[in-house]
Amino acid sequence: MRAKYTNVAIPEELAHQIDKLIKKSKLGYTSRAQFVLEAIRAKMEAQK
């Protein structure tokens, strides 16, 4: 079964900061969505 997605709004400046980080880093992210998804998962895991 294919995953369903929803949109989340973030401030434009934060989006630009994420884009810059993705471009200059060697972390392996290929998109803003991939970065944000992993950040959310890490935060949720830390709350356990």
DSSP annotation string for 23-45: HH--S---SHHHHHHHHHHHHHH
Does position 7 have pLDDT exceeding 90, yes or no?
yes
Domain boundaries, given as residue ranges, for the chain: 12-46
Cα torsion 38, 29, 15, 7 to 10°: value is -50
Q: What is the spatial distance between Cα 26 and Cα 22, in angstroms, rounded to a whole number?
A: 8
Helix (H) or strand (E) holding 10: none
Phi, psi of 2 (to 5 degrees): -80, 140
Q: What is the pLDDT of residue 9?
A: 95
Rounded to an integer, the average pLDDT of 19-38 is 91
Q: What is the pLDDT of residue 25?
A: 84
> What predicted TM-score, i.e. pTM, was given to this entire model?
0.78
